[in-house]
Amino acid sequence: MAEPLIKILADKCVGCTLCVKACPFGAISMVNRKAVIDLNKCTLCGACVEACRFNAIELKKSRDAERDLTAYQNVWVFAEQVDGQIQPVTYELLGEGRKLADQLGMKLCAVLLGAGITPKAAELVARGADIVYVVDRPELAYFRDEPYAAVLIELVRKHKPNIMLCGATTIGRSLVSRVAVSVHTGLTADCTALAIDPVSKNLLQTRPAFGGNIMATIITPNHRPQMATVRHKVMKEAVADPSRQGTILTEVVADTVLRARADRLRFVPEETVTVNLAEADIIVSGGRGLQKPENFALLEDLAKVLGAAVGASRAAVDANWIPYSHQVGQTGKTVCPKLYIACGISGQIQHLAGMSSSDVIVAINKDPEAPIFKVATYGIVGDVLTIVPLLTRKFKEVLGK
């Protein structure tokens, strides 16, 4: 067995238990007034090392020699497009990417892949990109895992970006996981905050784990690019300025790069979706309190007035009241809208994991003890079947619809 990478220096440990409290994984206990680490529970996160005031915990950091990373310049954003339309998450990435690039004194670049997509590059310049790399090929009309990954890998190897951001979408996560493995660099999933370390200039990538119960800040110190997927709706969209100037570069790739073994036979759009759940600013979500599937129509009426998407709890999906694609929560989608209206949802921890980072949460529930009220900005104790139609009517009046 290899020597453990973390150990307690018994002569320095005073038995103060600070590390026991600091360990997010319950891996430290006190034996004979000395700290002992259960290596089966320890994830080597280093929280105890930071907490210890006596330098009694030694964590061997990677023995990688510090590599010369100066060749890696610029902040890249993967511009996700669907049916030739740039997805809103791309503008959020450009907004955040601009700040990071300015702090580093680097350029902000976007990578746009598609077929007949070149005219869209100007939109990325207007939203802050200094350079747009365009690969315009019929094979790239829609997302295909292998050629998209291969093209990105080639561009990364050629241009050596310092940072690469991508939306934490279905497409984004499927794509950049392949890229990060191929170019052998770190990838941090579903970030909700990004910053530059003032000293090391590393990208500080903060993300929730354990369904949002803990937050971790992660760096990629010795590999480039520093790659991250970023949660929807958390970063502020870059404002479009049509007068901005930028460079649009068409990249030529070899046919072999576009090789694909898996291929799309057909695409079936979801009929009931008017607003994409992950991109929605407002979500009206229903649970068991709706009592029967027909009552989802009440939520759809409200959603229509508000321009909202319709979500659901696991209970409602498991009862087959609404398709799985609407499920919010741990086994469904994680959403972060400006306004989340939970109607007849009790608020199990798994549901809260998927929506508790929403800006404003409204809870409507008959049961005043329902856990959803613990996270709600505004709560109404009452029957959703009475409250929701009234809410729809009132909003119609106020919004003049």
Q: Interface residues for another protein in 238-267 (CB under 8 A)?
A: 260-267
CB of 118 to another protein, least distance (A): 23
CB of 233 to another protein, least distance (A): 11
Q: What is the dihedral of CA 26, 31, 33, 38, to 10 degrees?
A: -40
Q: What is the DSSP letter of 137?
A: -
Among 71, 268, 292, 294, binds another protein (CB under 8 A): 268
Per CB under 8 A, does 390 bind another protein?
Answer: yes
Q: Interface residues for another protein in 165-184 (CB under 8 A)?
A: 169-171, 173-174, 177-178, 180-182, 184
CB nearer to another protein: give 246 or 329. Answer: 329
Contact status, residue 385 vs residue 368, Cβ threshold 8 Å = no
Q: Which of 103, 101, 174 is nearest to 131 (CA)?
A: 101
Tokens linked to 190 = 């579903």
CB nearer to another protein: give 129 or 357. Answer: 357
CB of 375 to another protein, least distance (A): 5
Any idea what the Cα angle at residue 276 is, between residues 271 and 279, rounded to 5°? 175
Among 12, 33, 61, 158, binds another protein (CB under 8 A): 61
CB of 316 to another protein, least distance (A): 14
Per CB under 8 A, does 220 bind another protein?
Answer: yes
For 256-275, letters b (16+ CB in 10 Å) and e give ebbeeeeeeeeeeeeeeeeb
Ranges assigned E (strand) in 2-152: 6-8, 28-31, 34-37, 57-59, 75-79, 81-82, 85-86, 108-114, 131-136
CB of 121 to another protein, least distance (A): 23
Per CB under 8 A, does 67 bind another protein?
Answer: no
The Cα–Cα gap between 324 and 352 comes to 17
CB nearer to another protein: give 80 or 136. Answer: 80
Total residues contacting another protein (rule CB under 8 A)? 121
CB nearer to another protein: give 196 or 391. Answer: 391
| CA 301 from centroid of its chain's CA atoms | 29
CB of 283 to another protein, least distance (A): 11
CB nearer to another protein: give 64 or 68. Answer: 64
Contact status, residue 132 vs residue 249, Cβ threshold 8 Å = yes
CB of 171 to another protein, least distance (A): 7
- Per-residue mark of binding to another protein, 137-156 (x: CB under 8 A): --------xx--x-------
Per CB under 8 A, does 84 bind another protein?
Answer: no
Among 113, 278, 312, 335, binds another protein (CB under 8 A): 278
Per CB under 8 A, does 216 bind another protein?
Answer: yes
Q: Which of 75, 179, 90, 162 is nearest to 126 (CA)?
A: 90
Any idea what the Cα angle at residue 315 is, between residues 311 and 319, rounded to 5°? 100
Contact status, residue 28 vs residue 36, Cβ threshold 8 Å = yes
Per CB under 8 A, does 53 bind another protein?
Answer: no
Contact status, residue 308 vs residue 284, Cβ threshold 8 Å = yes
Phi, psi of 247 (to 5 degrees): -105, 130
Per CB under 8 A, does 65 bind another protein?
Answer: no
Per CB under 8 A, does 387 bind another protein?
Answer: yes
CB nearer to another protein: give 247 or 291. Answer: 291
Q: Interface residues for another protein in 366-385 (CB under 8 A)?
A: 368, 373-382
Per CB under 8 A, does 31 bind another protein?
Answer: no
Ranges assigned E (strand) in 73-128: 75-79, 81-82, 85-86, 108-114
Q: Interface residues for another protein in 102-141 (CB under 8 A)?
A: none
Contact status, residue 301 vs residue 274, Cβ threshold 8 Å = no
- Per-residue mark of binding to another protein, 299-338 (x: CB under 8 A): -------xx---------------xxx-x--xxx-x---x
Side chain identity at residue 314, one-letter code:
R
Q: Interface residues for another protein in 8-27 (CB under 8 A)?
A: 21-26
